[in-house]
């Protein structure tokens, strides 16, 4: 008789959304308060880059994943949740401690460095989620609508346009985060010495 305390197989990845989807939707909705904190001045950060990050998560979670049950069963949902939570655990811990005046060098470095490999992977996973959802939006016609005067909105086209904007937003956010990292950590590009 074998007792297994922890199993991480195909079923657990497929069932990720069913297990924690409600909690993720609640947490991502609450994370919108971060924009208010930045606006009011509680958190010293720039509003627009954070707005882009939160908007892309809300769109992916609520529009792409939640609205298509077939997408909820994809492995990319588990990967997205892991990446998002990894970044949030470090960022929110660092931000919370910074607000009360506590600073740990390792946490500061991790907060300013972890996003460098993980954020582009998040955007790629988000793009892959959109790509995987397109056939379902096409076949079911979700969010596609017919407007007066023979106009219509075909939602898969909207998603394809958003897909391009996602990478433009990633470039902007990545540039901003890198600049912020330089300021916080005091890391500057090396200058060649003149001989």
Active-site residue, selected from the candidate residues 34, 56, 94, 126: 126
| DSSP per-residue codes, 81-141 | HHHHHHHHHHHHHHHHHHHTT---HHHHHHHHHTHHHHHHHHHHHHHHHHHHHHHHHHHH-
Question: Do 127 and 162 contact (CB within 8 A), yes or no?
Answer: no
Among residues 75, 119, 143, 154, which one is catalytic?
A: 119
Q: Give the chain's end-to-end CA distance (angstroms, integer).
A: 73
| 43 flagged as catalytic | no
Listed in sequence order, the residues at least 6 apart from 45 whose beta carbon sits closer than 8 Å to its beta carbon are: 38, 180
How distant, in Å, are the alpha carbons of 52, 86, 126, 149, 165 from that of 121?
Answer: 16, 12, 8, 42, 16
34 is catalytic: no
What DSSP state is assigned to residue 147? E
Catalytically active residues are 119, 126
């Amino acid at each position: 008789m074998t007792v297994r305390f922890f199993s991480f197989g195909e079923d657990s990845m497929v069932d990720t959304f069913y297990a924690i989807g409600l909690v993720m939707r609640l947490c991502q909705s609450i994370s919108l308060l971060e924009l208010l904190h930045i606006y009011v001045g509680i958190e010293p950060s720039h509003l627009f880059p954070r707005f882009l990050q939160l908007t892309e998560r809300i769109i992916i979670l609520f529009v792409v994943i939640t609205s298509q049950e077939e997408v909820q069963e994809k492995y990319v949902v588990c990967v997205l949740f892991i990446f998002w939570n990894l970044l949030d655990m470090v960022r929110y811990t660092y931000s919370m401690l910074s607000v009360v005046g506590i600073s740990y060098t390792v946490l500061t470095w991790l907060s300013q460095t972890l996003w460098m490999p993980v954020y582009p992977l998040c955007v790629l996973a988000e793009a892959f989620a959109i790509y995987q959802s397109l056939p379902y939006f096409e076949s079911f016609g979700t969010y596609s609508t017919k407007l007066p005067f023979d106009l219509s909105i075909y939602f898969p086209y909207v998603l394809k346009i958003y897909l391009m904007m996602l990478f433009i937003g990633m470039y902007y956010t990545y540039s901003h985060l890198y600049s912020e990292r330089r300021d916080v950590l005091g890391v500057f590009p090396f200058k060649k010495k003149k001989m």
